[in-house]
Amino acid sequence: MMKETIESEMEAIGKYPKDPASKAFWEYDNQFDFEYGWHIGYLEAVFFTAYLQMRKKVPDRNDELEIKKTIALHSREIKKLLSKRKTLGQ
């Protein structure tokens, strides 16, 4: 499930352009850092929620670390996809 979810998220990243209007809405300084953090946080939330739903408990420190390691294996590719995106309207 984790691999498929990460692959699906990376596919979505490649399809959607950068939206400069989000900077004013969310009031951040660096669009790349904001979007990278958003996608990594989204993946963590998806996996933590799935863990909670399946096991009826929050991940312990070891399972949390495994979730984060799994996401981290794809972090460079996520960064690469984010850096290649075009800006909305271009």
pLDDT in tens, 5-37: 998 988 999 888 888 889 999 999 999 999 999
1: pLDDT strictly greater than 80: no
Give mean pLDDT, residues 37-66: 94
Instruction: Answer yes or no: are the C-beta atoms of 82 and 14 closer than 8 Å.
Output: no
70 domain residue, yes or no:
yes
Q: Which amino acid is at 21?
A: A
Q: Which domain holds residue 46?
A: 2-84
User: How big, in percent rounded to 5, are the helix, strand and coil portions of the chain?
Assistant: 75, 0, 25
- State the pLDDT at residue 87: 83
78: pLDDT strictly greater than 90: yes
Helix (H) or strand (E) holding 90: none
89 domain residue, yes or no:
no
Residues in contact with 84: Cβ distance below 8 Å, sequence separation at least 6, in sequence order: 14
45 domain residue, yes or no:
yes
Give mean pLDDT, residues 27-55: 94
90 domain residue, yes or no:
no
Residues in contact with 88: Cβ distance below 8 Å, sequence separation at least 6, in sequence order: 17, 18, 19, 20, 21
Number of CB atoms found within 10 A of residue 81's CB: 19
| Tally of domains in the chain | 1
- pTM for the predicted model, two decimal places: 0.85
61: pLDDT strictly greater than 90: yes
Average pLDDT, the chain: 91
